[in-house]
């Protein structure tokens, strides 16, 4: 299986700002990875280069590959990656009912269009995912009228309809209540067991499920540390990452960050 992500010696700009300078990062298939770091570190920018919303600058020895390929039709690529992000949430057509939101995943579109057709099998897949994520009862509700967490759950179902080989999730639990968060964790755990690769950006280390075994620490556009969770999620590393004293606790593969002084 090709690597999910293979980036070597690339610069990434947002507007005129150079967010990454000479970034090199490889995430092999099956290496489920959490990316953490302070606000503004470049986490969302990195995920946006994977989905081709942002284009990296390749120098002479630079290379950028997702799923083993550097030339992609973005629509094809986005169907093979399940993407959930705040950008997607904000840019989605608000006048779409829940079931329609999920179906747009088949076309990687941000709204339903009349020319789009769906097979009975596709409709069945969409229904099954809505049931699993506990949103089937909300399928007629307009996106505009959904709560933040409801929108997130519909967008997660949307991301899964094409049975993508990798999931690219930017703060996916933002706005989820506790049962919805647990439901999300269960779904992610199931997907990992089905050999999907999950790459997730989060601010909450207590939401990194044990099956996500790798962590990348990003600080100001640089990789401070990357590797197995136990090696990377240490009090020393997080203290250096956030410039405040952090104490890390671990129990049965679950981690939490506590303030040192309290
Ligand atoms: N459209 C833009 N134009 C110019 N600069 C931008 C743009 N979007 C992001 N940036 C800058 O790029 C840097 C990285 O932003 P990014 O959104 O990737 O951070 P992040 O790690 O996802 O932060 P957060 O935890 O707040 O989501 C920041 O300095 C930000 O100000
Ligand atoms: Mg971000």
27-73 pLDDT, tens digit per residue, is 999 999 999 999 999 999 999 999 999 999 988 889 999 999 999 99
Pocket of ligand 1, candidates 36, 44, 202: which has the most ligand atoms within 8 Å of its Cβ, to mutate?
A: 44
* 261 Cα to the center of ligand 2, angstroms: 28
Ligand in nearest proximity to the CA of 14: 1
* 41 Cα to the center of ligand 1, angstroms: 7
Pocket of ligand 1, candidates 14, 35, 216: which has the most ligand atoms within 8 Å of its Cβ, to mutate?
A: 14
Ligand in nearest proximity to the CA of 48: 1
* Rounded Cα–Cα distance for residues 156 and 186 (Å): 13
- From atom 18 of ligand 1, which residue's Cα is the shortest distance away? 42
* 91 Cα to the center of ligand 1, angstroms: 17
For ligand 1, say whether the CB of 45 is within 6 Å of any of its atoms: yes
- From atom 13 of ligand 1, which residue's Cα is the shortest distance away? 40
Model confidence at 115, pLDDT cuts 50, 70, 90, reads confident
Tally the C-alpha atoms within 13 A of residue 228's C-alpha that lie toward its C-beta. 3
Atom of ligand 1 nearest to the CA of 37: 21
**Would you state the pLDDT for residue 161?**
95
- From atom 28 of ligand 1, which residue's Cα is the shortest distance away? 40
Atom of ligand 1 nearest to the CA of 16: 4
Atom of ligand 1 nearest to the CA of 171: 27
Q: What crossing angle do the helices spanning 178-193 and 148-160 adopt, rounded to 10°?
A: 10
- From atom 31 of ligand 1, which residue's Cα is the shortest distance away? 40
Closest Cα partner for 207 from 86, 89, 56, 35? 35
Pocket of ligand 1, candidates 18, 19, 47, 201: which has the most ligand atoms within 8 Å of its Cβ, to mutate?
A: 19
Considering the chain, what is the average pLDDT of its residues?
Answer: 93
Q: CB–CB of 241/38 below 8 Å?
A: yes
For ligand 1, say whether the CB of 16 is within 6 Å of any of its atoms: no
Model confidence at 262, pLDDT cuts 50, 70, 90, reads low
- From atom 29 of ligand 1, which residue's Cα is the shortest distance away? 40
Model confidence at 141, pLDDT cuts 50, 70, 90, reads very high
Q: What is the pLDDT of residues 152-194, one digit of tens each?
A: 999 999 999 999 999 999 999 988 889 989 988 999 999 999 9
């Amino acid at each position: 299986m090709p690597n999910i992500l293979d980036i070597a010696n690339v610069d990434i700009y947002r507007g005129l700002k150079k967010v990454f300078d000479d970034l090199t990062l490889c995430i092999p298939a099956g290496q489920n990875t959490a990316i953490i770091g302070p606000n503004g570190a470049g986490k969302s920018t990195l995920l946006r280069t994977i989905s081709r919303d942002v284009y990296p600058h390749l120098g002479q020895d630079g290379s950028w590959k997702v799923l083993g390929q550097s030339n992609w039709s973005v629509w094809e690529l986005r169907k093979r990656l399940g993407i959930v992000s705040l950008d997607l949430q904000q840019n989605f057509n608000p006048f779409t009912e829940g079931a329609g939101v999920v179906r747009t995943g088949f076309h990687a579109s941000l709204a339903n269009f009349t020319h789009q057709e769906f097979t009975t099998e596709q409709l069945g897949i969409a229904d099954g995912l809505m049931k699993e994520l506990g949103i089937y009862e909300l399928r007629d509700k307009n996106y505009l009228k959904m709560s933040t967490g409801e929108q997130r759950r519909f967008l997660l179902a949307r991301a899964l309809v094409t049975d993508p080989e990798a999931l690219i999730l930017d703060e996916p639990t933002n706005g989820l209540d506790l049962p919805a968060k647990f439901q999300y964790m269960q779904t992610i755990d199931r997907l990992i067991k089905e050999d999907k690769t999950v790459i997730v950006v989060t601010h909450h280390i207590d939401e990194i499920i044990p099956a996500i075994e790798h962590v990348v620490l990003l600080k100001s556009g640089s990789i401070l540390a990357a590797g197995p969770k136990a090696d990377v999620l240490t009090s020393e590393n997080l203290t250096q990452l956030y410039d405040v004293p952090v104490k890390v606790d671990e129990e049965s593969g679950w981690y939490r960050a506590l303030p040192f002084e309290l």
